[in-house]
Structures are given as C-alpha cells and as structure tokens.
Amino acid sequence: MGFNDISSNQGFTNASSDNGSQPAWMNVEVVLTAEIGQAYIKVNQLMQVGRGAVIELGRKVEGPIALKVGDKLVARGDVQVHEENLSIRITEKYH
C-alpha cells in the first residue's frame, strides 16, 4: 500500500526531542478501512447466501466512501483505480 500525498501532520504537535525527529507514536501502523456500505441480515438468511447472491448495501453508487480507523471516521473519498488497484482520493479529512 502506498500514499502519494501525505505531506502534513496538521493538528498534531511535535513532542519529540530537539533533534527534529517525529515522535514515536507517529510511526505506529493502523488499519485504515474503506467502508462501502452496510447490510442488516438475519443469521439464517446469511447461512443461505451462496455464490452469485446479491446483497444490497444500502447506499448509492455516487458519493464518497468512509475511511475509518477502528470505529472512528477519519476521512471520506472517491473510489478510483490506480495502477490496476482500487484506491481512494481523499475529499474530506477529519481530526
């Protein structure tokens, strides 16, 4: 996974020593999830789902995708294809 334009740590203060390095917590890896929708389904219905089944996710195709770290919404963006991989172009960022 790569990032093309992460150039600011806006909203964060640098609590590091005078040597100019970033604080250690800035290097912690987190799981960023792109949420395309949700469906509420009963367990017995889920058990009957087979290959080729279609589950509606309750959202329109247009519109931004939510990006979350855990349950926290951190950004929204538009789905794109970048070098044959799905990617998200950030359109809104939250602190």
- How many other C-beta atoms lie within 10 A of the C-beta of residue 67? 20
The predicted structure's pLDDT at residue 58: 84
Tokens 């970033």 appear where? 22
Domain that holds residue 53: 30-93
Is 80 a member of any domain?
Answer: yes
Is 59 a member of any domain?
Answer: yes
CATH label of the domain that carries residue 49: 2.30.330.10
Identify whether the C-beta of residue 22 lies closer than 8 Å to the C-beta of residue 6: no
For the chain, how many structural domains are there in total?
Answer: 1
pTM: 0.64
- pLDDT per residue as tens, the chain (95 positions): 455 544 444 444 444 444 568 898 889 999 999 999 999 999 999 999 999 999 999 888 888 999 999 999 999 999 999 899 999 999 999 98
